Amino acid sequence: MRAMILAAGRGARMRPLTDAVPKPLLKVGDKPLIAYHLIKLASLGITEVVINIAYLADVIKNTLGDGRQYGVHIEYSYEPEALETGGGIYQALPLLGDEPFLVVSGDVWTAYPFERLPKQLSTSLAHLVLVPNPEFHPRGDFTCEDGLLGLEGPHKFTFGNIGVYHPQFFADCKPGFFRLGDLMAAWINKQQVGGEVYCGEWYNIGTPAQLAFLQGKVITTAYS
């Protein structure tokens, strides 16, 4: 299995921290956020990693290089202008192969056990990890019943920006800017998206306050 880490966004809400440092390179402890993903992937034998880059692209490339310091091989998908999540993944498809691949956002910090993700998708085109609704997103995104995601229901959860996708998930897409959420909704309506709810440690780092909170915690995780 190959993996993709989303790292093209500007992180405007993190300013001024992101004026000179891309959000995935902001440090938690002694490592950049994105390094925790790379180390975890390498430990699972997932060594072929694609990273999409746009804002401060050269800073990311110069910092991470070819990935050997983390035990992986990195290929970069450069976007002259950020294509949003859906467009960014679609552009990178030639680098991701013909089999299901893992995608995770570079600004997420989590103890989720990636080894639990399916390596094959026999009954759906995607498998998404949901989390309990954080304060900044109380309405949630999707329901999850018997491993199948839905759009409507009283108990919604938030998409945790971790998922496995079959390339066919993007079969009807066109190059350019588009959001992954719109594509998810279309496939969920066709009952083609499975998933799970993860209730462990998960942090989406979107503001300086959220970063400071995470930096101040002493957390023992599978990433350590």
In the chain, domain spans: 3-216
pLDDT of residue 220: 42
Tell me which CATH code domain 3-216 carries: 3.90.550.10
pLDDT of residue 219: 46
pLDDT of residue 135: 87
pLDDT of residue 222: 40
On the question of pLDDT at 202 being above 80, the answer is yes
Q: What is the DSSP string of the chain?
A: --EEEE-----GGGTTTTTTS-GGGSEETTEEHHHHHHHHHHHTT--EEEEEE-TTHHHHHHHHTTSGGGTSEEEEEE-SS--HHHHHHHHHHHHH-SS-EEEEETTEEE---GGGS-SS-SS-SEEEEEEPPPTT-TT-SBEEETTEEES-SSS-BEEEEEEEE-GGGGTT--SS---HHHHHHHHHHTT-EEEEE--S-EEE--SHHHHHHHHH-----TT-
pLDDT band at 110 (very low <50, low <70, confident <90, very high): very high
pLDDT of residue 218: 43
- The pLDDT > 70 percentage for the chain reads 96
User: Per-residue pLDDT tens for 30-84?
Assistant: 889 999 999 999 999 999 999 999 999 999 999 999 999 999 999 999 999 889 9
pLDDT band at 136 (very low <50, low <70, confident <90, very high): confident
On the question of pLDDT at 9 being above 90, the answer is no
Residue that wins the pLDDT comparison between 220 and 38? 38
- The pLDDT > 90 percentage for the chain reads 77
Looking at every residue in the chain, the average pLDDT score rounds to 92
pLDDT of residue 18: 81
User: Can you tell me the mean pLDDT for 139-146?
Assistant: 95
